[in-house]
Amino acid sequence: MPAHHLMPTYQPLPMSFSHGAGCKLWDGEQREYLDALAGVAVTSVGHCHPRVVDAIREQAGQLLHTSNHYGIQWQQRLAARLAQVSGMEQAFFNNSGAEANETALKLARLYAQHRGIERPLVVVMENAFHGRTLGTLAASDCSAVRLGYKPLPGEFLRVPFGELSVLHDLTQAFGERICAVLVEPVQGESGVRVAPPGYLKALRALCDQQSWLLMLDEIQTGIGRTGQWFAFQHEGILPDVMTLAKALGNGIPIGACLARAQVAQLFTPGSHGSTFGGNPLACRVACTVLDIVEQEGLPANAARQGQRLLEGLRAAVGHLPCVKQLRGLGLMVGIELHSPARDLVRRAADEQRLLINVARGTTIRLLPPLTVDDGQIDEIIRRLAALLGN
């Protein structure tokens, strides 16, 4: 089928897949691939998990959409379930991570208005990525995805990721205008850059001191990927606002913005909305995903397999001249190389039947399903060693 009717926003490899199961995909010629990308941290419980398939099939035969003009029981169940595992209190559902971050930014604006701040500022991080809407692009820091879209809306203060001293300096110059800090616990799109130990806890303390909102973008880190349900739980804190998407629906589009009650209640009827957000199908699938993650112990598996992956990579490729650094948290692992490596995505697929991603040009990003087992981790390591050793 020719692709010339599609807008030229992607440069896909000349391949497509017919079906998948667990950590494996098959193309139209029945060649098998090991998936170390999971649709960019989306299919975390694996491709075609039987319980997800059953939930989609049954719900599609019952009810897909009614709109938010009526109560949606699966939406209410999902909100309660997310509150239980996160410690947050209220949720708003939409269709994507970018929309979830837009919801968070709107809450920050309302919070600023509540505090009487006329020209509010949100602190964001260098090398951050929060989405592709104009608002989330303004909060992001990637010249390639921002190219051609200026002027971007909103006012943001950009600071180095992981460094608190600059933030403390900002309180002197802009403290009265700052209303929130938006941060990814692990910067996935910039090459799997993990926040230093203690950083989120120190941010929490600073936000408490200054009466700022701490808003965490857990779109890529959430739902077990880092070895906890959410990355903030590694440091025993609680944000004011948190955004989710990706793994929440395992391929069914859904996003969520969670907040503490006093922040969530800044919204009033009509102040925000979504046509499709929180529909019965997406919310039932998300409830099923949460059940699978809990009952199959996938956060613990992510912690164990992530350690196995990092240790195995250090032994297999850490000594190679092309490798600059290995880093990661749970099943979110980056191999930074000394030179651009975009051709490795194609070579990995063609030569090793391995699906990977390259972030910011020089970092191989590994995001396998959380259901991955010892043998599959060892096979990822073996195939990468063969790829990088050539």
Question: Does residue 48 have a pLDDT over 90?
Answer: yes
pLDDT of residue 142: 82
Quick one: pLDDT band at residue 4, thresholds 50, 70, 90? confident
Least confident of 3-17, 48-62, 212-226: 3-17
63-295 domain in CATH 3.40.190.10? Answer: no
pLDDT of residue 135: 94
pLDDT of residue 209: 95
Mean pLDDT across 273-290: 98
What class has domain 17-48+297-389?
Answer: alpha beta
pLDDT of residue 167: 85
Asked whether the domain spanning 63-295 has the same topology as the one spanning 17-48+297-389, the reply is: no
Q: Each residue of 355-372: pLDDT tens digit?
A: 999 999 999 999 999 999
Quick one: pLDDT band at residue 256, thresholds 50, 70, 90? very high
Question: Does residue 166 have a pLDDT over 90?
Answer: no
Any idea what the Cα angle at residue 351 is, between residues 346 and 353, rounded to 5°?
85
Mean pLDDT across 370-376: 98
pLDDT of residue 381: 98
pLDDT of residue 3: 74
Quick one: pLDDT band at residue 2, thresholds 50, 70, 90? low
Averaged pLDDT score across all residues of the chain: 96
Quick one: pLDDT band at residue 342, thresholds 50, 70, 90? confident
Name the CA dihedral angle for 240, 154, 179, 235, rounded to a multiple of 10 degrees.
40
Task: Read off the DSSP letter of residue 340.
Answer: -
Beta-strand ranges (E) seen in the chain are: 17-21, 24-27, 32-35, 90-94, 121-125, 156-159, 178-183, 186-187, 193-194, 213-217, 241-244, 255-259, 323-328, 333-337, 354-355, 357-359, 363-366
Quick one: pLDDT band at residue 144, thresholds 50, 70, 90? confident
For residue 366, give the nearest of 320, 329, 340 by alpha carbon. Answer: 329
pLDDT of residue 212: 97
Give catalytic residue positions: 129, 217, 246
pLDDT of residue 23: 98
* pTM: predicted TM-score of the whole model, two decimal places: 0.97
pLDDT of residue 387: 97
pLDDT of residue 154: 82
Least confident of 163-167, 262-266, 318-322, 359-363: 163-167
pLDDT of residue 1: 59
Question: Does residue 263 have a pLDDT over 70?
Answer: yes
Query: 241 and 257 in contact (C-beta within 8 Å)?
Result: yes
Question: Does residue 62 have a pLDDT over 80?
Answer: yes
Domain ranges for the chain, please list them.
Answer: 17-48+297-389, 63-295
Please report, for residues 68, 164, 237, the alpha-carbon distance to residue 205 in angstroms, rounded to integers and kept in the order given: 37, 11, 10
